[in-house]
Amino acid sequence: SSTCSFLVIMHSGSESIEFTLPNADWAAEWQIELDTTLPGAKSPELKMQPGQTLRVFARSALVLRASHA
């Protein structure tokens, strides 16, 4: 059977923040599955590397799926 791990980031602040993704112990890469700042909340095929920093906009949520190589 296959299992998936997800990272959910919910930011209720009034200003954008920088968030550093967990290191390679947690995932080989991260796929953004949902971004509430985008139309329809669906993210394009955007993959992020462990330890990479991403901007989390004010009053938004992100869901990232861990890829285990």
What would the DSSP string read from start to end of 24-51? TTT-SEEEEEEETTSGGGBPPS-EE-TT
Q: 15: closest CA among 63, 64, 62, 56?
A: 56
pLDDT on residue 2 = 66
pLDDT tens track for 36-63: 998 876 766 788 999 999 999 999 999 9
Q: How far apart are CA 53 and CA 44, in angstroms?
A: 18
pLDDT for 3 beyond 90 = no
- Quote the percentage of the chain above a pLDDT of 70: 91
Maximum separation of any 2 CA atoms in the chain, in Å? 41
